[in-house]
């Protein structure tokens, strides 16, 4: 296991409880967007790569034959287990592992979804190509992530703030780069949708669940906002509170060709 994977596991063990209950991750409007992009049917087998606390898994499971939730962090999978059990869904498999090398055959899934994982990979191309590999021919890949500004300086500052909050963060990519990466992995982009989500410092920092980071990070962001530096995320004051906007991207893509449909 690399230092980076150890780091991610430690970080997301810490975040399992807070992320599971966070309003940004449980936002029904976003979950509906994901569901619409997948076009679930009763016979489908779906992979949620980096499923975390199983929020997407529990939404999709009643609509399809099976959902496999796959994640690196045992504490996240435990949360996913609890969520699925509370939702009464049984057609779910929750598997521990690293998305850099998926333990599934080529074309094993009708659709693959991932949300907020790409920016945790040192080489996101590996994740995207693994997603494409395990999707059947003409199957769907739905990738959702926060993207950075197209301006490199703004993107650098934004990513620095994300890293101070969560040191396992690698890089939120500009939209153009993420789209190119998806296209280069044997996927045809059907559509891409972006939207902005206002975040308060408190809600965002609370997920990281570490007061030792929150105070210095707040000082930095207050100082940037006071200086009128928007950090590529429209950082500003709302009354006494620091707020900013995350730009989200949802890409719906189709696997162009496949060496054949297999099973796990
Ligand atoms: C920000 S959380 C998002 C959880 C979930 N996708 C959601 O949106 O509700 C990122 C998740 O990706 C997982 N993750 C990060 N790197 C991974 C990897 N290399 N392999 C598998 N899972 C990974 C983490 O353990 C964590 O649960």
Q: Identify the residue with better confidence: 264 or 52.
A: 52
Is the pLDDT reported for residue 32 higher than 90? yes
Written as six digits, the tokens of 34 are 């994901």
| Confidence at 257, pLDDT banded by 50, 70, 90 | confident
Q: 253 alpha carbon to ligand 1 midpoint, in Å?
A: 20
Length of the chain: 264
Q: 5 alpha carbon to ligand 1 midpoint, in Å?
A: 11
pLDDT given at position 264: 43
Counting from 1 in the atom list of ligand 1, the atom nearest the Cα of 25 is: 9
Q: Is 58 in the pocket of ligand 1 (CB under 6 A)?
A: no
Residue 49 CB neighbours (<10 A): 24
Is the pLDDT reported for residue 36 higher than 60? yes
Mean pLDDT, range 216-228, rounded to an integer: 95
- Is 25 within the bounds of a domain? yes
The sign of the torsion formed by the CA atoms of 186, 194, 125, 101 equals negative
Residue 171 CB neighbours (<10 A): 19
Q: The CATH number of the domain where 111 resides is what?
A: 3.40.50.150
Written as six digits, the tokens of 192 are 């891409």
Contact 173, 125 (CB under 8 A): no
Q: Is 79 in the pocket of ligand 1 (CB under 6 A)?
A: no
- Is 73 within the bounds of a domain? yes
The sign of the torsion formed by the CA atoms of 8, 11, 17, 19 equals negative
- Is 232 within the bounds of a domain? no
Enter the DSSP assignment of 238: E
pLDDT given at position 2: 85
- Is 224 within the bounds of a domain? no
pLDDT given at position 259: 47
- Is 58 within the bounds of a domain? yes
- Is 263 within the bounds of a domain? no
Burial 241-255 (b: 16+ CB within 10 A, else e): ebbbbbbbbbbbbeb
Q: Tell me the pLDDT of the chain averaged across its residues.
A: 95
Written as six digits, the tokens of 46 are 């779906």
- Is 213 within the bounds of a domain? no
| Rounded CA separation 94/52 (Å) | 10
Is the pLDDT reported for residue 34 higher than 80? yes
Q: Is 123 exposed, middle or buried (0-12, 13-18, 19+ CB in 10 A)?
A: exposed
Of all residues in the chain, what percent carry a pLDDT higher than 90?
A: 95
Range of the domain at 46: 3-149+167-198+246-255
Q: pLDDT for 154-210, tens place per residue?
A: 999 999 999 999 999 999 999 999 999 999 999 999 999 999 999 999 999 999 989
Beta strands in 72-202 (DSSP E): 92-96, 109-115, 135-147, 187-200
- Is 184 within the bounds of a domain? yes
Q: pLDDT for 70-91, tens place per residue?
A: 999 999 999 999 999 999 999 9
Nearest CA owner, ligand 1 atom 16: 120
3-state secondary structure of 128: helix
pLDDT given at position 261: 41
How far apart, in Å, are the Cα atoms of 116 and each of 76, 110, 126, 169, 218?
A: 14, 21, 15, 10, 23
| Confidence at 258, pLDDT banded by 50, 70, 90 | low
3-state secondary structure of 167: coil
Q: 173 alpha carbon to ligand 1 midpoint, in Å?
A: 16
| Confidence at 93, pLDDT banded by 50, 70, 90 | very high
Radius of gyration of the chain from its Cα atoms, rounded to whole angstroms: 18
How far apart, in Å, are the Cα atoms of 102 and each of 97, 168, 169, 248?
A: 7, 21, 21, 26
Contact 141, 115 (CB under 8 A): no
Q: How many domains does the chain have?
A: 1
Helix ranges restricted to H, 22-111: 28-38, 55-60, 74-87
């Amino acid at each position: 296991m690399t230092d980076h994977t150890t780091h991610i596991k430690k970080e997301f063990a810490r975040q399992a409880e807070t992320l599971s209950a966070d309003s940004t991750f449980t936002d029904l409007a976003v979950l509906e967007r994901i569901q619409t992009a997948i076009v679930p049917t009763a016979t489908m087998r779906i992979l949620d790569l980096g499923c975390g606390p199983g929020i997407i898994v529990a939404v999709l499971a009643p609509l399809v034959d099976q959902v496999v939730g796959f994640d690196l962090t045992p504490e996240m999978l435990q949360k996913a287990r609890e969520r699925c059990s509370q939702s009464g869904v049984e057609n779910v498999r929750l598997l521990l592992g690293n998305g850099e090398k998926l333990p599934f055959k080529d074309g094993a899934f009708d659709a693959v979804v991932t949300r907020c994982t790409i920016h945790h990979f040192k080489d996101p191309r590996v994740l995207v190509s693994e997603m494409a590999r395990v999707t059947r021919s003409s199957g769907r890949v739905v990738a959702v992530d926060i993207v950075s500004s197209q301006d490199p300086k703004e993107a650098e500052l934004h990513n620095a703030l994300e890293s101070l909050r969560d040191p396992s963060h690698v890089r939120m990519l500009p939209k153009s780069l993420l789209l190119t990466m998806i296209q280069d992995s044997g996927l045809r982009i059907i559509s891409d949708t972006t939207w902005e989500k206002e975040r308060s410092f408190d809600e965002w920092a609370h997920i990281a669940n570490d007061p030792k980071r929150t105070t210095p990070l707040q000082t930095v962001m207050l100082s940037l906002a006071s200086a009128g530096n928007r950090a590529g995320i429209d950082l500003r004051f709302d009354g006494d509170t620091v707020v900013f906007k995350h730009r989200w991207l949802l890409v719906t893509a189709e696997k162009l060709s496949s060496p054949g449909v297999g099973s796990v």
